[in-house]
Structure 1
Amino acid sequence: MTKREKIISCIQEGRGVLGIEFGSTRIKAVLIDENHNPIAAGDHEWENRLENGVWTYRLEEIWEGLQDSYDKLAEDVKNTYQIQLTRLGAIGFSGMMHGYMAFDREEKLLVPFRTWRNTMTEEAAAVLSECFAFNIPQRWSIAHLYQAILKGEEHVEKIDYLSTLAGYIHWKLTGQRVVGIGEASGMFPIDSATGDYDAEMMQKFDALVADKGFPWKLREILPKVLRAGEMAGALTKEGARLLDRSGCLQPGVPLCPPEGDAGTGMTATKSVEKRTGNVSAGTSVFAMIVLEKPLSAMHREIDMVTTPAGDPVAMVHCNNCTSDLNAWVGLFAEFAECFDIKADKNTLFSTLYQKAMEGDKDCGGMIACNYYSGEPVTGLEEGRPMFLRRPDSHLGLANFMRSHLYASLATLKIGLDILLKEEDVKIDSITGHGGLFKTKGVGQSILAAAMNAPISVMETAGEGGAWGMALLAAYMLSKKDGQSLGDYLDSRVFAERKSETMEPDPADVAGFETYTKQYQACLAAEKAAVQAF
């Protein structure tokens, strides 16, 4: 049987596994075969909007995006293999972590979806962090809930279910109010010993709001926590129609626990074991380091979450990464069109990224502040993208692009320095993935400079979180009894997959250190800009 015939048989017999991830700018669906190789894909571009001071996506945009990405995947199957996609072996959904989606008993959304990008919960995050003696970031679901309580928002007493984007989609397609443990760890702190929400902290929260007289306790409105590999329900008839507008997809497909983009990133880069880590760089950027021992102190810049299997992870999450960089590339594309030059998007990015490698190691006196939104790591509630340069700076395209690439990782470096320099966290391997690493060698070398550590990029780096989510669904479907997620990835998925590792260039490391110091100094100007307009 040829490779093509094997794929067709896999699809026809319903052994293909589907992963769908809702990213900040793209919803991607990936279908994999029994060897975990992508065999079809579909995607849908979308963008969050700032409405009444809240970064959000509308419900109709969520469902239109899901259906469009699935339609395109099914069309890819039909065009490539001349067959209709009607059966699946398993499905997994992933989305941007954190945020706030609150529903009443009639399953009505009580307030517009508040995404991870919002920085409106500073007061709540501070109070809860002190109460729990545990860092609660602003974007976590519990911070949004408590901020709504502090503001006296009327909808709070009506809450029947509080979920994330991935949890919401999973609920609507299966009827199950569950999330994966990695996703849950971005809603409320997890006790890694029990694999559930921290009971003591939950009691403290209920006591904190007891005088409000709400008709619910916190546990009653949060989704159930499941570990990777557990069954999380099946696709209902209604769910099948929500996913596939054509009505061809059969219900009954088993679903794995929905996970956040951090969990799928760890899975897609085989970074779920102790002393491993990964950096996901796109609209936002975050680093995940699986710890071998607890940190010595609480750091407000460091989030404590878990792997999809429930192991403790130190996370540095930055709201801003490539949005400003992408905007400038868009400006260059518009400039080119003025001269009737239609530049391919991928070629334009690749050319400009490569040009950046010709720039000065410290960017020659240029600083880009890439804050589209607030940045809790550096204490900014709002963002104002800015570009600054000294009068004696070496103005040129190479330095300009290099400064924006450095800016994409500068805030991440500030947070990582706490782990690597203050906490002396040991890391055996770091893997990069996401849009920043698509141009070979560029994002990889800059991350190596930022961390002063070897960085690997796998040949599957471009597949991203949707592929990682499909792997989690495949693990649920075909793991051996007692087989850990790490062992499954090692033996079944990555045993023969290639990666390239790049060592840091000492000159790049020194240049990035200089740039970061200047970047931090220029944050005073960023704060002033926020106050000014």
Structure 2
Amino acid sequence: MSLNVKSAIQSGKTVLGIELGSTRIKAVLIGEDNTPIASGSHEWENSYVNNLWTYSIEEVWKGVQDSFQKMANDVKQQYGITLQTVGAIGFSAMMHGYMAFDKNERLLVPFRTWRNNMTGDASRELTELFNYQIPQRWSIAHLYQAILNQEEHINDVSFLTTLAGYVHWKLTGQKVLGVGEASGVFPIDLQTKNYNQTMINQFNELVAHKHLSWKLEDILPHVLLAGENAGVLTKEGAKLLDVTGELQAGIPLCPPEGDAGTGMVATNSVAKRTGNVSAGTSAFAMVVLEKDLSKVHPEIDLVTTPTGNLVAMAHSNNCSSDLNAWIGIFEEFLGAMGIEGDKNKIYETLFKQALQGDQDGGGLLSYGYLSGEHMTHFEEGRPLFVRSSGSRFNLANFMRVQLFTAFGAMKIGMDILLNEENVKLDEVLGHGGLFKTEGVGQSILAAAFNVPVSVMETAGEGGAWGMALLGSYMINKKEQESLEEFLTDKVFVDQSVKTVSPDPKDVEGFEQFMERYKNGLVIERAAVDNLQ
């Protein structure tokens, strides 16, 4: 096996996927059988500067270079060779946000991430204008809000893109996006698989009185579908990615995608009636639809698969951040006791405690709102833990409620899809950090959605692996072979899957928690309004 892998590396038959997530940048190299053979990662955190969540450009490149170098070092250690070329590369990142550049390729304002709930007026106006849900996170909402705010930089915008689009552009010179990523910038026409031209015209008319120096269609990245070529690594790009200078230029790149799209690919959830939940810093459930929704729902975003099929997304800004902070407190306690605890073991132990708790969490209540939460209409967040004098406050219930609330806001959106829109869903595939402890996150999510939840053995590989698979599809697909066929026949054919079906008592307990969650939102509102 090792010799075959070594040969594949030397002959450039591998594919590299790199994803810039909220807390980690990960590089995954896959072999000819589409399984990971080397990886590297870089931890990072967003900063809250001048009331904005952001990452600096320097941090972006430091993280990309570090994750690549660690992956390359992994290749060297395992196989004794220097990585000089690969068959294809793909980049993905957290979706949405705002990166605006002038004609000299200068970033006009600091990168505004998806986490910023500062575009409420723009979101409302555009949703009404288009009769199509435009969430606050979307790039077009950020652009229009900057126009409404009369920000000085607006007239200088020459190019607007996302984080994935930016990295791809700097490495290839190509101003492109995969259709899934583009669907979080501006609405996509499902017939043309391109930006909705009618809505582009509406937007241009809306801002015509501003006499801007650009039209919307001139500043947006070009849209590409999965499998299409998105340029090659330039000499400058190769030096930017690999600071050692070993990596060769000329490697083809596939269209850059968002973390929603790579999550679909990594869970083989790109066919209709399939769904997946990504649970990390944020949580989002995605369901590939058989038909359009009956009306606009503020809680439901519409994006697409990497091939341009319609997807309903129930997205919550907050998921595991507050949970991770509580785990950190337990880790600190162990340290104060002179006990050195393994972090993975701490997570596993506390997660398993959650399964021992009362079905409804013992009357406890928690909101992990580190940032604002659009699903429940909060422009800012205040993490809260609340209990009454009659609550059953113990470790098991505490941990159970922390996991319940991680899915709480997302559950509100999913109830709209399943109950109001009667969307059919056969099962949900779970991926992300919350599913690493076997059976725990699955059981909680199965109770929340009342559908079977499956986790694949590759669930921990995440979006970087999904991005590598998109690169593999581009260079290895047969003529007319769809992405769905490629994934089912070439990637997941022998995949081990573990499924948890919902327990009726757990479903009832989660519904009881959700009543408490909704009723308690007035407490969260009071905290946001009165606590700085």
Pair in the same fold by TM > 0.5:
yes
Q: Return the offset for 1:469.
A: 0.2
Deviations 1:115-166 (A, max 9, x none): 0000000000000000000000000000000000000001010001000000
Q: Return the offset for 1:430.
A: 1.2
Corresponding position of 1:101? 99
Code of the aligned partner of 1:521? N
Q: Return the offset for 1:340.
A: 1.2
Note the 1:88-127 alignment, pairs <5 A.
88-127=86-125
Aligned with 2:35 (options 29, 34, 37): 37
Deviations 1:165-214 (A, max 9, x none): 00000000000000000000000000010010000000000000001111
Deviations 1:12-45 (A, max 9, x none): 1111100000000000000000100100000000
Code of the aligned partner of 1:515? F
- Secondary structure of the residue aligned to 2:100 is strand
Poorly superposed stretches of 4+, deviation over 3 Å: none
- Give the Cα–Cα distance (whole angstroms) in 2 for the partners of residues 424 and 185 of structure 1: 24
- Give the Cα–Cα distance (whole angstroms) in 2 for the partners of residues 393 and 274 of structure 1: 42
Q: Is the counterpart of residue 187 in structure 1 residue 185 in structure 2?
A: yes
Code of the aligned partner of 1:386? L
Note the 1:152-191 alignment, pairs <5 A.
152-191=150-189
Corresponding position of 2:241? 243
Corresponding position of 2:305? 307
Code of the aligned partner of 1:358? Q
Corresponding position of 1:341? 339
Corresponding position of 1:363? 361
Q: Return the offset for 1:429.
A: 2.5
Corresponding position of 1:225? 223
Aligned with 1:286 (options 284, 287, 300): 284
- Give the Cα–Cα distance (whole angstroms) in 1 for the partners of residues 110 and 528 of structure 2: 25
- Give the Cα–Cα distance (whole angstroms) in 2 for the partners of residues 171 and 341 of structure 1: 48
- Give the Cα–Cα distance (whole angstroms) in 2 for the partners of residues 484 and 429 of structure 1: 22
- Secondary structure of the residue aligned to 2:327 is helix
Q: Give the TM-score of the pair, scaled to structure 1.
A: 0.99
Q: Give the TM-score of the pair, scaled to structure 2.
A: 0.99
Corresponding position of 2:62? 64
- Give the Cα–Cα distance (whole angstroms) in 1 for the partners of residues 75 and 499 of structure 2: 34
- Secondary structure of the residue aligned to 1:374 is coil
Deviations 1:335-383 (A, max 9, x none): 1100111111111101100011111111111101110111111111000
Gaps in structure 1 of 5+ consecutive residues: none
- Secondary structure of the residue aligned to 1:382 is coil
- Give the Cα–Cα distance (whole angstroms) in 1 for the partners of residues 309 and 426 of structure 2: 17
Q: Tell me whether 368-377 or 168-177 shows the greater mean CA deviation.
A: 368-377
Gaps in structure 2 of 5+ consecutive residues: none
Computed over aligned residues only, the root mean square deviation of the Cα atoms, in angstroms, reads 0.5
- Give the Cα–Cα distance (whole angstroms) in 2 for the partners of residues 375 and 395 of structure 1: 26
Q: Is the counterpart of residue 420 in structure 1 residue 418 in structure 2?
A: yes
Q: Is the counterpart of residue 468 in structure 1 residue 476 in structure 2?
A: no
Aligned with 2:252 (options 251, 254, 261): 254
Q: Is the counterpart of residue 148 in structure 1 residue 146 in structure 2?
A: yes
Aligned with 1:209 (options 207, 210, 213): 207
Corresponding position of 1:81? 79
Corresponding position of 2:395? 397
Corresponding position of 1:318? 316
Corresponding position of 2:263? 265
Q: Return the offset for 1:428.
A: 1.9
- Give the Cα–Cα distance (whole angstroms) in 1 for the partners of residues 394 and 407 of structure 2: 21
Code of the aligned partner of 1:9? S
Code of the aligned partner of 1:353? F
- Give the Cα–Cα distance (whole angstroms) in 2 for the partners of residues 94 and 84 of structure 1: 24
- Give the Cα–Cα distance (whole angstroms) in 1 for the partners of residues 154 and 482 of structure 2: 39
- Secondary structure of the residue aligned to 2:407 is helix
- Give the Cα–Cα distance (whole angstroms) in 2 for the partners of residues 303 and 395 of structure 1: 36
Identity %: 61
Q: Return the offset for 1:264.
A: 0.1
* 8 A contact 2:426–2:451 mirrored in 1: no
Q: Is the counterpart of residue 435 in structure 1 residue 460 in structure 2?
A: no
- Give the Cα–Cα distance (whole angstroms) in 1 for the partners of residues 342 and 413 of structure 2: 35
Corresponding position of 1:24? 22
The number of equivalent residue pairs is 531
- Secondary structure of the residue aligned to 1:55 is strand
- Give the Cα–Cα distance (whole angstroms) in 1 for the partners of residues 43 and 373 of structure 2: 24
Q: Return the offset for 1:395.
A: 1.0
- Give the Cα–Cα distance (whole angstroms) in 1 for the partners of residues 288 and 354 of structure 2: 32
Deviations 1:243-287 (A, max 9, x none): 001000001000000000000000000000010010000000001
Q: Return the offset for 1:293.
A: 0.9
Deviations 1:480-517 (A, max 9, x none): 11111001001110011110111001111000000011
Corresponding position of 2:522? 524
- Give the Cα–Cα distance (whole angstroms) in 1 for the partners of residues 399 and 456 of structure 2: 25
- Give the Cα–Cα distance (whole angstroms) in 1 for the partners of residues 169 and 493 of structure 2: 34
- Give the Cα–Cα distance (whole angstroms) in 2 for the partners of residues 363 and 460 of structure 1: 30
